[in-house]
A and B are shown apart, each in its own frame.
Chain A
Amino acid sequence: MPMLEVDNIHTYYGNIQALKGISLTVEEGEIVTLIGANGAGKSTTLWTIAGLLKPRQGKVFLEGEDLAGYKAHEIVYKGVALVPEGRRIFAKLTVAENLDMGAYHRSDRAGIAEDLERAFTLFPRLKERRSQVAGTLSGGEQQMLSTARALMARPRLMLLDEPSMGLAPVLVENFFETIQEINRDGTTILLVEQNAHMALQVAQRGYVLETGAIMLSDTADGLRQNPMVQKAYLGME
């Protein structure tokens, strides 16, 4: 049974249809990437999986369970964490408080302390700045905080929406290594990326989204060799 199965979802903003029947699966332990141009519907797909948007048609299954009846915060209890596009950290809370919020629904103190240590090992910068108000962090640091905050939920499935945005080029490579490390520790990952190059390097499989529908789905290698993908997303002629 796949970790995540998205079955033909149609999601609307009011009367505007953003998703026109998206289907995808993510197996346990995989890194799967979702690439597509601006406005293709990548973020909308992740928000629908996380339960912040409800599909007008179609279903989302987590390990076979239909998520339709659950609110967004209940889906978090089931082990799904979304790192939203554009960081969206709590700017007026301190770094430590932001991380606390990530573990909000948990009560296992020992486990939380362990995950905090792990987050600080993955992102040492955050440890130095733990008592600083998060709004004063640099853009890159805020991005790290946003990812670390999601990790504090100890998710089984992590949805990452353009997590490398705003990171200095020298840090991007490092960041993707961190994502692979998180994955090796047992977290399944669905990764939305502008940086298709990096995304297809770390992912095993990928989907290409265009105007609310899946155009292509293949292994990462397959997509990298696909002339259409090379032209449109990898900037090759």
Chain B
Amino acid sequence: MQTTIRQRFENIDYLDIALWVLRIVIIVAVLWGTVATILDNPYSTEQWLDFLIFGLAQGSLYALIALGYTLVYGVLLMINFAHGEFFMAGIFTATVFVAIPLDASGFTDRHPIWALLVIAVVAIATSMGIAVLTERVAYRPLRRAPRLVPLITAIGASFFWQYFFRGLYGSGITAFPDVALLKGSWTILGLEILKSQVVVIVASVLMLIGLYIFVMRTRMGKAMRAVSEDKDVAALMGIDVDRVIMITFAVGAAMAGAAGVLYALMYRQVHFFMGFFPGLKAFTAAVLGGIGSVPGAALGGLLLGLFESVGPCLFLEGLGITSPYQLKDVIAFTMLVLVLLVRPQGIMGERLAEKKA
């Protein structure tokens, strides 16, 4: 149907106009900054590539954590704000009980691969255990409550685990012991890349692919998708819905546990508050990609990581902002707000309004 210009004007409301103005202002600012940066060119090609690789590594961590948000949202339409704590609990425990003793005994130097495997297994198992416990004790009894109730409970659970582990392992920053095997860098296609970043990117991509296959191809994956569409009818198929929900939490937490190990390899430190910002960023990534969508979480994570690492220098430097890198969090959360304003269903998501009811 053709709409005349007049009709179009009549249909526009002020919020739309405000949104358009906002979009235009941001696009102009970004373009201006980008052009100015390029003309000025304060960084070398190597430096740009460094930003890019770092962004990819950071983004793949976000993607791994974002999967937990997206899977749980898919089956329960609930945002599990305690997910960042699952990420923290695994690697914090594995650092205190495995990484540090193994390093002190010299085992890590002698058998680095085995040491990393044990660390990963303990971290992943702890994350899964905490997630399953949280689901069973705090969320399952509220399954039929209004949606705001589990949301608030999740925030409570998040605080609970933060202070639980703070009480258990202390409030200081604990150094994650260096793994000699992963120190230094490799030269790949003429580029010097930190070994730890290569490991992070490769491991994350493999896990993302594995999870996608799990969800699309396996019996349990299909059951998860069935439960996310219609719980009553899933039960009529002989699916134990409570069990599927528990497994969904466990799978998401396994990804978070693995992300915790990779995080420790990259940043070489852990602490009780470490789940907060990565959790929030990963949530942003999940919303950006379209919460509920597995490929969306992966894409959202990578995009967010790239924007955060390349964005400050590319967009902001040219605007005359000094030390723009400190503003990377601003970029991340500006993106969250923009996505919510402009495309609330995210890049690959469907409209939330349709899914509810």
- B159 CB, nearest partner CB in chain A, Å: 33
State how many residues of chain B have any CB contact under 8 Å with chain A.
17
Q: Say yes or no: A52 contacts B230, CB within 8 Å.
A: no
* Across-interface contacts of B237 in A (CB, < 8 A): 73, 76, 101-102, 104-105, 149, 153
When chains A and B are docked, how far (Å) is the Cα of A176 from the Cα of B225?
31
Contact pick for A100, options B222, B229, B233, B240, CB 8 Å? B222
Q: Does B256 contact A (CB under 8 A)?
A: no
When chains A and B are docked, how far (Å) is the Cα of A104 from the Cα of B238?
6
* Across-interface contacts of B274 in A (CB, < 8 A): none
Q: Does A91 contact B (CB under 8 A)?
A: yes
When chains A and B are docked, how far (Å) is the Cα of A91 from the Cα of B230?
10
Given A73-B241, A104-B219, is A93 in contact with B236 using a C-beta cutoff of 8 Å? no
Contacting A at CB under 8 A, from B210-242, are 219, 222-223, 225-226, 229-230, 232-241
Interface residue tally on A, bucketed by range: 20 to 34
- B157 CB, nearest partner CB in chain A, Å: 26
* Across-interface contacts of A93 in B (CB, < 8 A): 222, 225-226, 229
Contacting B at CB under 8 A, from A61-98, are 71-73, 76-77, 81-82, 84, 88, 90-93, 97
Most chain A beta-carbon neighbours within 10 Å: one of B225, B226, B236, B238: B236
Contacting B at CB under 8 A, from A41-60, are 50, 52
Task: Give how many A-B residue pairs fall within 8 Å (CB-CB).
Answer: 64
Q: Say yes or no: B225 contacts A52, CB within 8 Å.
A: no
When chains A and B are docked, how far (Å) is the Cα of A104 from the Cα of B219?
8
- B75 CB, nearest partner CB in chain A, Å: 13
* Across-interface contacts of B222 in A (CB, < 8 A): 93, 97, 100-101
When chains A and B are docked, how far (Å) is the Cα of A82 from the Cα of B236?
7
Q: Say yes or no: A84 contacts B238, CB within 8 Å.
A: no
Given contacts A72-B236, A149-B237, 6 further A-B contacts (CB under 8 A): A73-B236, A76-B238, A93-B229, A101-B223, A101-B237, A102-B237
Q: Which residues of A contact B (CB under 8 A)?
A: 50, 52, 71-73, 76-77, 81-82, 84, 88, 90-93, 97, 100-102, 104-105, 149-150, 153
Can you name 22 A-B residue pairings with CB atoms under 8 Å? Answer: A50-B236, A52-B232, A52-B235, A71-B240, A73-B238, A73-B240, A76-B236, A76-B237, A76-B238, A81-B236, A88-B230, A90-B229, A92-B225, A97-B222, A101-B226, A101-B237, A104-B239, A105-B237, A105-B239, A149-B237, A150-B236, A153-B238
